A = this chain, B = another copy of it.
Amino acid sequence: MTHIARMLDSHPRPEAAIDQAALRECIEACFACAHSCSSCADACLAEAHLSHLVRCIRLNLDCADVCQATGSVLLRQTETDWAIVRAQLQACATACRACGAECQRHADDMGMQHCVLCAESCRQCADACDRLLAVLPA
Q: Which chain B residue lies CB-closest to A54?
A: B45
B42 near A76 (CB under 8 angstroms)?
yes
Which residues 15-61 of A sit at the B interface, judged by CB distance below 8 A?
Answer: 31-32, 35-36, 38-43, 45-48, 50-51, 54-55, 57-59, 61
Which residues 71-123 of A sit at the B interface, judged by CB distance below 8 A?
Answer: 72-73, 75-81, 83-84, 86-88, 90-91, 94-95, 98, 112-114, 116-117, 121
- A131 → B minimal CB distance (Å): 18
- A106 → B minimal CB distance (Å): 12
The docked-state distance in angstroms from the alpha carbon of A94 to that of B84 is 6
B residues in contact with A95, CB < 8 Å: 84, 87-88
As for how many copies of this chain the complex holds, the number is 4
Q: Which chain B residue lies CB-closest to A80?
A: B58
The docked-state distance in angstroms from the alpha carbon of A3 to that of B86 is 27
Q: Which chain B residue lies CB-closest to A115?
A: B10
Interface size on A, residues (CB 8 A): 63
A87 near B77 (CB under 8 angstroms)?
no
Given contacts A4-B35, A36-B7, A72-B38, contact A98 B78 (CB under 8 A): no
Q: Does A133 contact B (CB under 8 A)?
A: no
The docked-state distance in angstroms from the alpha carbon of A102 to that of B121 is 33
The 4 closest A-B pairs by CB, nearest first: A69-B69, A10-B113, A87-B91, A7-B39
